[in-house]
Amino acid sequence: MTSPNPRAFIFDMDGTIVDNMAFHTKSWVAFFERRGHEIDPDDFFRATAGRQGHEIMRTYLGSELTNEATALLDAEKEELYRELYAPHLETVAGFDQFIETAQEQDVRLAVATAAPPANIVFTLDGLDLRRHFDAVVGAGDVARGKPNPDVFLLAAERCGTAPEHCIVFEDAPLGVEAARRAGMRAVVLTTTLPAEAFAEFDNVICVARDFSELDIEALFAGRPAATNNIQQAQ
């Protein structure tokens, strides 16, 4: 019997399903070095994680860039990333068991990512994960990247789930803000930033190092993470 209020987990991909943000940062550094620009990796991540490639290109290389120009630049940067990360491609600890248990409990599953189509194929198909998801929403499906809520709202719609019954899994402040704007609770994975980077968000219900630390029913009950768990996740 189908639940009248189906529940859903919506996963960011980069830094959440896979612990790859260091490789994205390395590829951005190399990409900008080719153009004579230096970036601070930590500041760059905080300012851009969750934004779409064309948004980043226009911010750092000029707002006058055409769609065709940004598409070529995006392709160059993402090819660099895939070359760097391919030998290391694997899911975050506990993820495979976590989604298997969620499916057994009739939780709908979605991916909502700022990644371009080629990177979604690289990750989800490279790890044979796509078959588990009821919806996959990427940069090509929405006009605006995070912190706008578009990608999460579309994922919920495609799952047939109301925002208040969705929990988002994220590793970046812009993503958690997008979840907040969508009216969704969030779980933070500290794959990339420490717990204190998310202290301002009142929609965060749990902070964890990986998926092995998470309990599905406790998450839907909305229990905030205990202080000692947050400290351990740092």
Alpha helices in the chain (DSSP H): 21-33, 41-48, 53-61, 67-85, 95-104, 117-120, 150-159, 173-181, 216-220, 227-233
List of residues 6+ apart from 111 with CB closer than 8 A = 10, 11, 12, 13, 17, 120, 124, 133, 135, 136, 137, 138, 155
- Give the pair of three-digit tokens for residue 109: 């599953």
What's the Cα-to-Cα distance from 43 to each of 40, 47, 68, 182, rounded to whole Å?
6, 6, 27, 25
213/229 Cα distance (integer angstroms): 9
For residue 125, which amino acid is it? D
Q: What is the DSSP letter of 125?
A: I
Reply yes or no on whether 12 is catalytic: yes
92/99 Cα distance (integer angstroms): 12
From the candidates 12, 19, 150, 171, which is the catalytic residue? 12
Residues with catalytic function: 12
